[in-house]
Structures are given as structure tokens and as C-alpha cells.
């Protein structure tokens, strides 16, 4: 049974950092692509970053490039999203998700993903 559990969200000041974790079970982590998405109130869910299966190629939305880093620890079956230089517009519920693409690639289109975690809230407040 595939399960994803996010953690690490919280309240942080602008300019601060958080590290989100996505603990996976029921499948081998590096055999699937993992994506991070976020959804703010009244807005559509948007892709933030993803890491491909196999070689772990990473992709980022332009809005987070240079500030966020996705990584994968296969031994712990966990994917991380290190978020630095946080901005008020980063406030959202963050979700991790997984799917099995045909090659070593991933997309940040939420409709491509089959399994989702429950989300973790990230709030920027001064």
C-alpha cells in the first residue's frame, strides 16, 4: 500500500528556512518520481519541484529556483524539500506525490500523479 506522509511545516518569518520531509512506504523510492506541490487558499495547486526516478534529476518551478532544493534519501525512503529565503507568497499547504513515469523524468503537473500525502501547512508571517 503506497503511503506518503509529509512533515516539517510550520510558521516562519520571511527570509527564514524550513525543511519538509516526505516519508514514503509501500514502494521503492527511487523507482518512482516524487513531486512537491503547494496550494494556497483560493488558488490552484501548483508544482514546486520534482525528482525523477533512477538518476534523480531535479526540476523546479521558476518561482522557487535558487531558493528550494529537493533531495532524496533512498536508505530512509524519504524525500526532502529544503526551503530557504522564504517569502510571504510561499504560504500554502505543501503536498508530496508520486507516480511512475515512462523514463527518468518528472513533470510538475498534478494530474500526472497517482498518490498524494495529506499535506503540511507552511505559513510566512512577520
Q: What angle do CA 37, 43, 47 make, to 5 degrees?
A: 20
Q: Rounded distance, CA 115 to CA 93, Å?
A: 16
pLDDT of residue 40: 96
Q: What pLDDT, in 10s, does the model give residues 72-110?
A: 999 999 999 999 999 999 999 999 999 999 988 999 999
Answer whether 33's CB lies under 8 Å from 50's CB.
yes
Measured in degrees and rounded to the nearest 5, phi and psi for residue 106 equal -155, 160
Q: What is the pLDDT of residues 17-64, one digit of tens each?
A: 999 999 999 998 889 999 999 999 999 999 999 999 999 999 999 999
Amino acid at each position: 500500500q503506497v503511503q506518503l506522509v509529509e512533515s516539517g511545516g510550520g510558521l516562519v518569518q520571511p527570509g527564514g528556512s524550513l525543511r519538509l520531509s516526505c516519508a514514503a512506504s509501500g514502494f521503492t523510492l527511487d523507482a518512482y518520481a516524487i513531486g512537491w506541490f503547494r496550494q494556497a487558499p483560493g488558488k490552484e495547486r501548483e508544482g514546486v519541484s520534482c525528482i525523477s526516478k533512477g538518476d534523480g534529476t531535479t526540476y523546479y518551478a521558476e518561482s522557487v529556483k535558487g531558493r528550494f532544493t529537493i533531495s532524496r534519501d533512498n536508505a530512509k525512503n524519504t524525500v526532502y524539500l529544503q526551503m530557504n529565503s522564504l517569502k510571504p507568497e510561499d504560504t500554502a499547504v505543501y503536498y508530496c506525490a508520486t507516480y511512475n513515469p515512462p523514463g527518468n523524468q518528472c513533470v510538475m503537473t498534478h494530474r500526472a500523479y497517482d498518490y498524494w500525502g495529506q499535506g503540511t501547512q507552511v505559513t510566512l508571517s512577520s
